Structure 1
Amino acid sequence: MRFMMIVKGTTDSEAGTPPGPELLEAMRKYNEELVRAGVLLAADGLLPTSAGIRISYPEPGGKPKMMDGPFTEAKEIIAGYTLIEVKSREEAIEWALRMPDPHGFGQGEIELRQVFEPHELTSEPEALAGQEALRKQLDERKRP
């Protein structure tokens, strides 16, 4: 089971304020624990929304609409993520609870969401085979 720990944005992350050395060290240690446990798939911070682009589809079948950041809906902003693969929802929750406050100062908020697996979206053999082929290609690209 894959889960994404979504780190919600704050006024500091939107201002581009980098984390302090203590938080960077705590996150490094946490990520090392995830690696040692063999559950870490990816972990990255995101630039502020001022560097982002939002694409919307206001009409069915219509042309996409682009809007440059910054975006003002603070509760909707994502500052980073960690993607893990674990055996259960409970294990994912345990790892999420161990993450240091991602912004420090008691401002951090993490949203934990399970990632759909291909078989949960469709039972069509052709579509599942296509998804598996794409995964294999991605795995091959990761190898040196």
Structure 2
Amino acid sequence: MRVLVLVKATEASEKESASPEWMAQMMDAMGKFNDKLRDAGVLLMAEGLQPTSRAKRVGFKGTARTVTDGPFAETHELIAGFWIWDVKDLDEAVAWVKLCPNPMPGPSDIEIRPFYEMADLPSGQ
């Protein structure tokens, strides 16, 4: 089962306000965690995302398109980074997330979302 593991953004990640010392420690710990995922055959991809101050959104309404420059509000709804993992089931994904270093200074959330697989779709589609 493939899952998308989403690191939710925080005010600190959007402002890039973490200290250089904290960032160095977190990147070292996260590198070691990613090595464990890779060694276990779980890790397919891992990336961090730049803050939404460097992003754009394209809105769709019929055939019209509207482009909005970042930064975007509702920080708790934004994504700061992600992994794609290949795990046996959601329980295995949860177990790995529990081993993850906290990716943010302060409280943070990680969300696990399964990918649709062909076997999940009704037959004939």
Does the alignment reach a TM-score above 0.5?
yes
Identity between Structure 1 and Structure 2 (%): 39
- Indicate conservation of the 8 Å contact 1:16/1:47, yes or no: no
| More helix per residue | 1
Corresponding position of 2:4: 4
- The Cα offsets for residues 13-58 of structure 1, whole Å up to 9 and x where unpaired, read as 111246521111110010000000001011110000011111121x
Q: Which structure has more RCO (C-alpha within 8 Å, separation ≥ 6)?
A: 2
Counterpart CA distance in 2 for 1:99 and 1:83 is 14
Q: What do you get for the CA RMSD once the two structures are aligned?
A: 1.7
Structure 2 counterpart SS, 1:42: strand
Counterpart CA distance in 2 for 1:16 and 1:63 is 34
Bigger-Rg structure (1/2) = 1
Corresponding position of 1:24: 27
1:36 to 35, 39, 48: 39
In structure 2, the gaps of 5 or more residues are none
Matches within 5 A, 1:103-142: 103-104=104-105, 106-121=106-121, 123-124=123-124
Relative to structure 1, the CA distance from residue 118 to residue 66 in structure 2 (aligned partners, 3 Å threshold; closer, same or farther) is: farther
TM-score, structure 2 normalization: 0.88
Count matched residues.
122
Counterpart CA distance in 1 for 2:120 and 2:17 is 39
How far does residue 7 in structure 1 lie from its aligned partner after superposition? 0.4
TM-score, structure 1 normalization: 0.77
Counterpart CA distance in 1 for 2:3 and 2:98 is 13
| More strand per residue | 2
Corresponding position of 1:100: 101
How far does residue 12 in structure 1 lie from its aligned partner after superposition? 1.4
Counterpart CA distance in 2 for 1:17 and 1:123 is 49
Q: Which runs of 4+ in 1 moved over 3 A?
A: 121-124
